[in-house]
Amino acid sequence: MQTDFSNSISINIEFDKNLEKITGTSGHTVVMSTGANFMFLLNSIFMEYPEIMKICKPGELGFTINGYPPKEYSPLFDKDVVSFVVIQNL
């Protein structure tokens, strides 16, 4: 069975130095379905890296999409850059 990626988008994920210590990576690319939104991506990141939620309390993480703060259901587009940063030092 062949997968059809014609309706997919690539999102570049960036982690700051604090999150790099937690995740073991400075970032990576995620392939998602066209029409995906920020909340879906955020849940996917927390599922992939559950240790983020264990170490960072609510309000300690900041996010941007292409340098702008997202709304809860901000749509994502091909080649977007989503940055995750720790607001407080861990």
**For 21-55, what is each residue's pLDDT tens digit?**
999 999 999 999 999 999 999 999 999 999 999 99
* Reported confidence tier of residue 86, pLDDT bands at 50, 70, 90: very high
Query: Does the pLDDT value for residue 72 go beyond 90?
Result: no
Residue 5: what pLDDT? 55
User: Which CATH code fits 8-86?
Assistant: 3.10.20.30
The Cα–Cα gap between 55 and 49 comes to 11
Question: Residue 90's pLDDT is what?
Answer: 53
Residue 41 belongs to what H/E stretch?
A: helix 38-48
For the segment 53-78, the average pLDDT, to the nearest whole number, is: 94
Average pLDDT, the chain: 92
Distance CA 7, CA 18 (A): 34
Mean pLDDT score, 10-28: 97
Nearest by Cα to 77 from 14, 45, 30: 30
Do residues 79 and 55 touch, judged by C-beta distance below 8 A? no
Whether 57 and 45 have beta carbons less than 8 Å apart is answered as no
- Indicate the domain borders of the chain: 8-86
Task: Write the single-letter amino acid at 45.
Answer: I
